[in-house]
Amino acid sequence: MQQQRSASRSRHASTPRVIQLALTVESAQSKVEREDRPRVTSPIEIRPARPDEYDEVGRVTERAFADGPYGHLPVSSERRELVNDVAARAASGAVLVAVASDGAIIGTATLLRAGTPQSRLAVGDEAELRLLGVTAAARGLGLGRALALAAEEVALGWGAASVVLDTGTRNVVSQALYRSLGYELIPNRSSEPDGSPIQHVEFVKPLRDRDDVLVRLVRPDEYEAAADLSERAYTSEYDITESYRASIRQIAERAAEHQVWVAVDTTTGTLLGAVATPRPGRSISPLARDGELDFRLLAVDPPARGRGIGALLTRHVIELARLRGLDHVVMNSGQQMVGAHRLYEKLGFGRLPEREGSITEGGRTIQLLAFTIPVGAAS
């Protein structure tokens, strides 16, 4: 058994259902393709594969690797089973597909949990990226990068400490991609797994900034606890209306429509804070415009204040925007929430006065300030 790479990765986070992913990739770059390839000229969606697509996912994976640097080698029965049993891979994690507007699958990637039959590297709370492939017609569009980033967001949702992968030593294009995405070569590690004649190199990308707290998607059995901490966070400092209190507590409804992320103490499992974001390709408030990610209801349980939980969750939102290829993060905040405003300003947010206004709730008029930060400017 491979040894744990880091003490901070000793806890395995179980996963909620796979989130819906919808990432648009501009295909105007098709001009970089060879003239003898059919061109992909429409927006592309990245999402989990549907069961009725599993056979085609297997075929696309086979073709993508047949076009690679090892396509001339014979394929073992074990490898063929791994590629074609897409249902088993999906049961062990998530199988993502890149789909053109005509429904054609033009790329795929698999993210696996540690200890599953198809995983060969991941241990503890690591996730493993495998079988990333793009069809010949779609190469040059940045789909490999987009699929890897989408898989990284899935890993964040699981609460994974890192993503690990391996690739053949001759696959220099993939190695360059992974390095550009922040993956680091695992020193003194190369292998010939499963009796394969292919020499592999292994990479790892850490996902956590801290050992004591992780951020992941809320689980159904935590909805009540997340609602309680969110209510405590807002009522401990602010006089809120009953309708707003009820809205704050709608964790289950919000998680079904959007995403609710929680900060979790890695030692005790206690929920420390929460924040809500939209699913990829959507918004969670009227504030967001194209190219922007908005978030709502940042909350830190009063006993957990002073541990940097609010900053951790806000940086997590900014990281989601980066993974989705968005330019800015935006949010509204009530005029009276000066503590939150200090946090946003400290992190580099600025005001958006042209988008500020007021709402009437429970007979009260509430002034809403607007804040923004360019994703590239965030530290």
Q: How far apart are CA 67 and CA 135, in angstroms?
A: 8
* Under 8 Å between Cβ of 147 and 61: no
**What kind and span of H or E run contains 198?**
none
Q: Do the bridges between strand 259-265 and strand 271-277 make them parallel or antiparallel, or are there none, so unpaired? A: antiparallel
Coarse DSSP helix, strand, coil percentages of the chain, rounded to the nearest 5 percent: 35, 30, 35
What pTM value is reported for the model?
Answer: 0.86
Percent of the chain with pLDDT over 70: 86
* Under 8 Å between Cβ of 241 and 198: no
Q: How far apart are CA 232 and CA 242, in angstroms?
A: 14
**pLDDT tens across 6-22, in order?**
433 333 333 333 333 44
Cβ-proximal residues to 202 (8 Å cutoff; 6+ apart), any chain: 121, 164, 165, 166, 185, 186, 189, 190, 191
* Under 8 Å between Cβ of 334 and 292: no
Q: Tokens for 2? A: 């491979």
* Under 8 Å between Cβ of 361 and 241: yes
Q: What are phi and psi of 304, to 5 degrees?
A: -95, 0
Q: What is the SS3 assignment for 180?
A: helix
The pLDDT score that the predictor gives to residue 194 is 56
**pLDDT tens across 232-265, in order?**
999 998 888 899 999 999 999 999 999 999 999 9
Q: Which residue is listed with tokens 């590239």?
A: 376
The pLDDT score that the predictor gives to residue 37 is 42
Kindly indicate the confidence band of residue 172, based on its pLDDT and cuts at 50, 70 and 90: very high
| Average pLDDT value for the chain | 88
Q: Which domains does the chain have, with CATH numbers?
A: 7-206 (3.40.630.30), 213-377 (3.40.630.30)
Kindly indicate the confidence band of residue 335, based on its pLDDT and cuts at 50, 70 and 90: confident
Kindly indicate the confidence band of residue 108, based on its pLDDT and cuts at 50, 70 and 90: very high
Poorest-confidence range of 68-77, 106-115, 257-266, 277-286? 68-77
Kindly indicate the confidence band of residue 54, based on its pLDDT and cuts at 50, 70 and 90: very high
Q: How far apart are CA 165 and CA 122, in angstroms?
A: 8
What are the residues facing 214 on neighbouring strands? 264
Average pLDDT over residues 52-69: 94
Q: How far apart are CA 182 and CA 159, in angstroms?
A: 18
What DSSP state is assigned to residue 235?
Answer: H
Q: How far apart are CA 79 and CA 183, in angstroms?
A: 25
Residue type, 98: A
Percent of the chain with pLDDT over 90: 75
Q: How far apart are CA 341 and CA 314, in angstroms?
A: 12
**What kind and span of H or E run contains 203?**
strand 200-206
Q: Which of 279, 229, 283 is nearest to 251 (CA)?
A: 229
Kindly indicate the confidence band of residue 222, based on its pLDDT and cuts at 50, 70 and 90: very high
Kindly indicate the confidence band of residue 188, based on its pLDDT and cuts at 50, 70 and 90: low
